[in-house]
């Protein structure tokens, strides 16, 4: 209990910086955080560009403080079907974008303080982070071309992506 409180206090300043007026998408297929199934996901120990890396709270805090490269953050759970559907899509995007972006994953069940602080309500939630600000967030499974189009627009100033089926742009709350 004390460890969670210390972790929450440590996170609060950094995560407060992430709470910006970002736009959001809510897509079909977002899993409710009420369901739960046990399982495991392996972690990648070293940061690598062009690879998806699962991180814990401390590693995420460190990553967002390095503003040199934008981040695509996937908040997921191992029991979440849409999360499992999206996992290989993130790999494709990470490989394609290479060193232009860091693609990170954080397990909402393993890191509940992060999920709560970032106001994750559905899974998967993808956040596009630039200069310690969430510039866009989306709930629900996205395919590689959708992730790439959103990253191009929100992180690199590319053209607006086409409307994503089932998605609706709304301001972040």
Q: Which of 11, 44, 67, 83 is catalytic?
A: 83
Has 44 been annotated as catalytic? no
pLDDT digits 0-9 by tens, 47-75: 455 699 999 999 999 999 988 999 999 99
Domain of residue 72, CATH code: 3.40.30.10
Q: Please check the confidence at residue 3 and state whether its pLDDT lies above 80.
A: no
The mean predicted confidence, pLDDT, of the chain is 78
What is the mean predicted confidence (pLDDT) over 11-27?
Answer: 49
Residue 170 main-chain phi, psi, to 5 deg: -140, 150
Q: Give the mean model confidence (pLDDT) for residues 12-32.
A: 48
User: Who's near 42: CB < 8 A, 6+ residues apart?
Assistant: 54
User: Any bridge partners for residue 31, and if so which?
Assistant: 123
Q: What is the reported pLDDT for 157? A: 95
Residues 93 and 105: beta-carbon distance below 8 Å: no
The Cα–Cα gap between 124 and 30 comes to 6
The domain in which residue 8 lies consists of 2-171
Q: What is the pLDDT of residue 67?
A: 85
Q: What is the pLDDT of residues 111-149, one digit of tens each?
A: 999 999 999 999 999 999 999 899 999 999 999 999 999
Number of domains in the chain: 1
Is 80 one of the annotated active-site residues of the chain? yes
Query: What is the phi-psi region of residue 104: left when phi exceeds 0, alpha when psi lies from -120 to 50, beta otherwise?
Result: beta
Give the integer Cα–Cα distance in Å for 100 and 15: 23
Say which of 11, 44, 67, 80 is annotated catalytic. Answer: 80
At 79 the pLDDT is: 98
């Amino acid at each position: 209990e004390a460890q969670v409180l210390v972790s929450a206090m440590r996170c609060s300043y950094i995560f407060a910086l992430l709470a910006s007026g970002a736009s959001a998408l809510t897509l079909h297929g977002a899993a409710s955080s009420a369901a739960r199934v046990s399982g495991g996901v392996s972690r990648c120990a070293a940061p690598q560009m062009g690879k998806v890396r699962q991180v814990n709270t401390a590693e995420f805090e460190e990553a967002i403080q390095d503003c040199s490269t934008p981040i695509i953050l996937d908040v997921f759970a191992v029991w979440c079907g849409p999360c499992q559907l999206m996992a290989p899509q993130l790999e494709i995007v990470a490989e394609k974008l290479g060193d232009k972006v860091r693609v990170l994953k954080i397990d909402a069940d393993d890191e509940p303080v992060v999920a709560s602080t970032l106001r994750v309500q559905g899974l998967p939630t993808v956040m596009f982070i630039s200069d310690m600000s969430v510039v866009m967030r989306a709930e629900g499974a996205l395919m590689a071309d959708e992730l790439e189009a959103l990253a191009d627009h929100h992180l690199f100033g590319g053209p607006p992506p086409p409307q994503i089926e089932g998605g609706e742009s709304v301001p972040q709350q």
